Amino acid sequence: MTQSEVMRLSAVCPAIACLGALLAQVPGGDEPIVVFTEHPRLLLRPARLRLLRRERERKSPRWQQFEALVAGGAPMPERGFAGALYFQVSGNREAGENAIAWALGPGRDLRQQALVFDWCQDLLSEPQRRDLTARLEQAIGRPPAEDTVAVERSRLMAAVALFDHVPDLPRRELERVARTWWAGRIVKALEAGRSAIARDDAYALYELLHVMRDNTNLDLRESCRRFFKDFPIEHLLSYYPPSYPAGENEYRIGAMRQSGEPDLQLAALGRAAEMAMVAFDTNAPESQVLQGWLMHDNFMLRGAFGAPYEFLWANPYQPGLSYYHVPLIYHDPDFGKLFVRSSWEDSATWFGYFDGVMQLFSDGKITSLNPQLAMAPLELQEAVICFARSARRFQVKLDEEDAVFVVGLEPHRTYQVEVDDEEMFEAAADTGGILELDDLPRGKPVGVRIDSR
């Protein structure tokens, strides 16, 4: 049955109507999802593999760092991933065989097993191939243990790696990930304004997107373009301003829901996610800005965890644009998020309101804020942020480019806004209870009063 036939029957059968709506969310409609590529399939498509092998020939700094760790016997946190990547680029059989031996050990994670199976196909003996095939098949044959981006990414990688080795099961798993999980849960949640993809999911998400598009020609972003257009810039603005010095390199630290020491593996994956975003769509303006952000060598991942990701994804030959061109304010009314910086300097003051968390970064420390407390408006270069309890009446003097946000209001509620010497108007708070006032007079002090309707 074609998608058009499904839609014609939808008026008769509500169940078919739901199916038609679901199919419309996935690029390709109801066409079978088929893997058409040869090994290696996962992340190392021919163009990227050629680039990495040229980097080895040129003895680039990233290759030298990666080679020094693997060839020097450094304890790699992800031994299967690192060893299999080293084998694919260098042809070193010992590294590949070590990766296979690791993948066949007890309790190995599915993602790395899939990478080893795919990248080390030429080295697998027949017993090893049967063993690893059985492990991957068993993993995707049972229901997902968790409904997370990382879990679904790993299952997709295993299904793609196995596609022409095992009948039927990999195809069914591809269909489940694309149509049931992605279209049926993620896209619907995003359309409803729910944050189904957290900041820390970014790397797993882009591995999933790359694997799906590279091997099936399906670009899952097409089902929620608005979210993906803004996602790279949100990722950029949601970093705290200062860098975090570590022994191997400096890190950028993304906004954390809870206080405490930063997780440097998450920080490394944040950078890897940005490199994967650039690789996914090199011509997009957002990618060019991200590339400008990534081109500072003091942030190059040199540690045993990060170096394989740095080598895999970095493209130092890709031109970038200065991130100083990015606005200092990011407001997403669909998901009720607001990030504001006073400047792009490391010494900047930063404000973040996301997923019910409100934070201020200033003078080297993070402060959690409660919008229901009476606080004076916060002025950050191009934005004035007013807090719900004290925002019923306030006074501001705005420059031409300044924006005013009232935070901590009731989501989706309509408010009456009265401005001195101006006609009263109505405005609605967004999904997060943020009200943007963009029609206030400029260049003079004005009083503002807000009341719920």
The span from the first CA to the last CA of the chain, in angstroms, equals: 50
Q: With cut-offs at 50, 70 and 90, classify the pLDDT of residue 447.
A: confident
β-sheet bridge partners, residue 415: 427, 452
Top-level class of domain 34-323: mainly alpha
d(CA 182, CA 125): 36
Q: In 3D, which of 227, 301, 233 has the Cα closest to residue 264?
A: 301
Lowest mean pLDDT of 303-317, 325-339, 430-444, name the range.
430-444
How many angstroms separate the CA atoms of 329 and 348, rounded?
A: 13
Residue-wise pLDDT tens digits, 402-444: 888 999 899 999 998 888 878 888 889 999 999 998 877 777 7
Q: Is the pLDDT of residue 16 over 80?
A: no
Between these two residues, 2 and 139, which has the higher pLDDT value?
139
pLDDT at 43 over 80: yes
Cis ω for the linkage preceding 40 (within 30 of 0):
yes
- Confirm if 203 and 269 have CB atoms less than 8 A apart: yes
Q: Look at residue 14 in the predicted model and tell me its pLDDT.
A: 40
* pLDDT per position as a tens digit, 368-400: 998 777 678 888 888 989 888 766 777 777 776
Q: Residue 373's pLDDT is what?
A: 74
**Per-residue pLDDT tens digits for 287-298:** 999 999 999 999
Position 13 pLDDT exceeds 70: no
Name the residue ranges covered by the structural domains of the chain. Answer: 1-31, 34-323, 329-452
290 Cβ partners below 8 Å, 6+ apart? 232, 235, 236, 274, 277, 278, 320, 323
Instruction: Answer with the residue of higher pLDDT: 6 or 359.
Output: 359
User: Which of 99-113, 147-161, 253-267 bottoms out in mean pLDDT, i.e. has the lowest?
Assistant: 253-267
How many C-beta neighbours within 10 Å does residue 98 have? 21
Query: Residue 17: is its pLDDT beyond 70?
Result: no
Encoding tokens for residue 232?
A: 């790279």
In the chain, how long is the greatest CA-to-CA distance? 83
Comparing 108-117, 357-366, 401-410, the range with the smallest average pLDDT is 401-410
Q: Which of 169-173, 193-197, 337-341, 357-361 has the lowest mean pLDDT?
A: 193-197
| Residue 214 near residue 222 (C-beta atoms within 8 A) | no
